[in-house]
Every structure is written in structure tokens, then in C-alpha cells.
A = this chain, B = another copy of it.
Amino acid sequence: MLIAAGLKRIAEPSPPVCRGFVKSVFGKDGMTSVRFAMVGGGGGAFIGPIHRMAAALSGNCELVAGAFSRDAHNSQATGVQLGLDPHRCHAGWETLLSDEAARPEGQRAQFVAIVAPNAVHAPAAIAAMEAGFDVLLEKPLADGLSAARAIAQAAQRTGRLVGVTHPYIAYPMALQARAMVAKGELGAVRRVAVSYIQGWLGASEDEGGKQAAWRLDPAQAGPAGAFGDIGSHAFNLVETLTGETIVRLSADLRATLEGRRLDDDGAALFALSGGGKGTLIASQVCAGEANGLSIAIWGEKASLHWAQQEPNALRLLSRGKPEQVWRAGSDQAWLEEAVRTGCRTPGGHPEGFIEAFANIYRDFSDTVAGRTVAMPAFAPIEAGLRCMAFVDAAIASSSADGRWHWVAVHNG
């Protein structure tokens, strides 16, 4: 999670606005909620509240236990404030797992959400799976490709479900784009342009700049800066929406501000498995930009434009026809059914980031409960692995003056 600067700072500027939730039970077809435990996300954490807001809004899961912090007092306090049974609030994921595993089936957590620092991901996730829990991981999957592969092997060995939270693919109109490409409405994908532009690390005197010391320290943050933090979201968006893989890339990364040792800005050319080409930009030093993730997918029959900052519209440009704008809404009959059920309100009632994140919790919980999910909003473990491989390939290419590198999980 250390790399996940873009996401982690979500509640930074002010005290956590969302102050949690505990329990969510609902009654569609008599379904009961799915119980989960959280590792990380104690007082002072940033991404934890987002996960809890998302879970609250998902309507089908319930937080029942946690190891919110290595600091026992913090973990207890967090749990109690969230209304948890104090006996289910632990100082370490080890005791959390053993305690939960020992509880009766109808009471114990069914999955574990891990929002702790990246280095904790692999040991906690593997132990959780071995103890019989499914696992939902804040991205990145792990603090390196080999740790990530260990998680994947554990998943295969234990047969447990692993999901990764890439919220940008969970927006209804991103799901719609994915469905339209999959159904061939664009024809062959010819070109993709994705960019993820932020400005918060752009000035050494800003808050973001001050944090750069450790944030952009390889020892703490891993091998990549912006490309790991937000470039991986852009990469995942491309692969998810096109349904193809980025097979090769040529990258050019750099640390813009003096004294930084990790990239805060970069771009890459890439080639898709289906023959198309693309560009990817990830930068955190562009003055005035907030969270500018956008993508264009150009095909032989039609093209799509989507921008995260106005997520409820999807522009469709077709050869020989007027442009269309498809808009989110549970009542927009022309949307895929899986997209409509990913909308909580009818057309004209904007939904946003938290709702997208809630779709992840909803779909992961439904999958844990054995319910069929047509187009899951959470990223599968393979996607998490590929993001790690992408970062490695980008760094390698950039270090080799842009020589084209393969993006492969298994050739490291």
C-alpha cells in the first residue's frame, strides 16, 4: 500500500470524513450479508475509511473483526468506534486469523480485506488463505513481483478467491465500455490512449512534495513511483476495457523534482495482443491537475472516450453516424444489464468514486457467497500480477533507453 499514494491520500487533507460503518444486512431474496475482517485501516490510515464507506454502500457485507493497527490500543479504539466486539479487534493479523478461524461458521469472517502497507500483503494474504479465508487486497497486490507470485501460488494451492481493488474499472460506464468492446462494437481495437495526470507531487513546498522524501524512497515505496501508484491503474484500465493484454512497451520515466529517486512522471508506447497500439502517460507533477484519468479506445468501427472525472458519460464515435453519449443510470435500457445493476439510481442522479468502489465490495461479497456475478467490478489476481509485471517492464525499458520490453508475469 505504500506505493498507493494517489489513493491513500484520499482523506488526507481533512480528518477522515467517513467515520466507518459496522454492519450491513439486507434482504434481497432473503440474502444475508457476507462477513469480513480488515487488516490495516486503523486510526490515521487513509484508505481504510474509503473501504468502509464502500462496504457500507455495497449493501451486502458486514465488518465483524479487524487488526487495524500493530498498535494494540489503536486497533482496539478503531474497532470499538466502529461498533465491533472488542474481542475481535487485534494488534496483529496473526491473532486475527487464528481467532476468526476458531469461531463457528455462521459467525466468523468470510473474507479478509487487506489495506495494510504493501510489505504486509503477501504474508497476511497467504496466511489468510491458508486459514480458509478469501482475500480482497488494496492494490498493488504486493511489494514486488515475486511476493505477488507467492500470493498467486497460495491462491492456486488453497483454491481461495483473491480480488484486487482497482476502483476505476468499477464505474458503470467503464463496465459498459468493457462490454461494448467485448461484443465487438468497436471492431478491432487500433489505438488506445490512456493518461493519468495529477499535480500533487509537483512542488517541493506543497504537502505532497514534502511527503516525497519517503514516498519516493525506493526502500519504502518499492521500485516505482508514479508508474506504480497511478500508472498501474491506467495499465489495468487498458487491459480490462479492451480485454486484451499489453504485450510489449517502450517507456521513458524520470524523477522530475530534484532529489527524488523514483519516477514522478513518465510515458510509454505499447502494443496490444490484438495488434493495436497505444500510449500511456502517468505523471504526478503536472500543476493544477487533480485526478485526471482518461482513456480513448479507437476501433475500426467505433471509438470510445471516457474520463474518470466525469464518469457518468461515455462518448461513442461511430463511423458514418452521429456521435452518441451514453449516460449511467439504472433505468437506461440500452445499457448492459450488469451495468444497470451497478447503478444505484436512475439516469440524471450522478454517482461517483465511492459508488464505484462499493461495486467492488458488492461483487466480491457476492462471489464469496457463491452468487454469480456477470462482470465483476473487482480485479482478479491475474490483473494484480500483470500490474506488477507492467511496472517492472516499464522500469527496465526506461533504464535501457526505451528498448521495447515484454510485459510478462512469468519471464522475470
Contact = CB atoms under 8 A, between A and B. Distances in A.
B289 A298 contact: yes
A106 interface: no
Given A10-B349, A288-B317, A59 B331 contact: no
Contacts of A281: 191, 193, 279
A238 to B, nearest CB: 14
A116 to B, nearest CB: 19
A353 B346 contact: no
Best-surrounded residue of A9, A77, A316, A322 (most CB of chain B within 10 A): A322
Copies of this chain, tallied across the complex? 4
Contact of A345 (B10, B343, B404): B10
A403 B404 CA distance: 9
A402 B250 contact: yes
B190 A286 contact: yes
A329 interface: yes
Interface in A274-310: 277-279, 281, 283, 285-292, 296, 298-303, 308-310
A57 B60 contact: no
A71 interface: no
A389 interface: no
Contacts of A198: 348
Given A191-B283, A283-B190, A324-B322, A300 B349 contact: no
Contacts of A401: 403-404
Contacts of A351: 352-354
A27 B344 contact: no
A12 interface: yes
Interface stretch (A13-21, A90-98, A373-381): A13-21
Given A24-B56, A77-B27, A340-B13, A323 B320 contact: no
A27 B13 contact: no
A118 interface: no
A100 interface: no
Nearest to A9: B346
A327 B290 contact: yes
Contacts of A53: 57, 59, 344
A219 interface: no
A186 interface: yes
A330 interface: yes
Contacts of A60: 19
Contacts of A340: 13-14
Interface stretch (A134-142, A151-159, A199-207, A239-247): A199-207
A286 B299 CA distance: 6
Interface in A36-68: 43, 50, 53, 56-57, 59-60, 62
A303 B277 contact: no
B206 A319 contact: yes
A78 B25 CA distance: 10
A254 interface: yes
A348 to B, nearest CB: 3
Given A197-B298, A290-B347, A352-B352, 15 more contacts: A14-B330, A17-B343, A27-B81, A50-B345, A53-B344, A57-B57, A187-B287, A199-B319, A286-B303, A288-B318, A288-B323, A289-B348, A310-B350, A349-B353, A350-B350
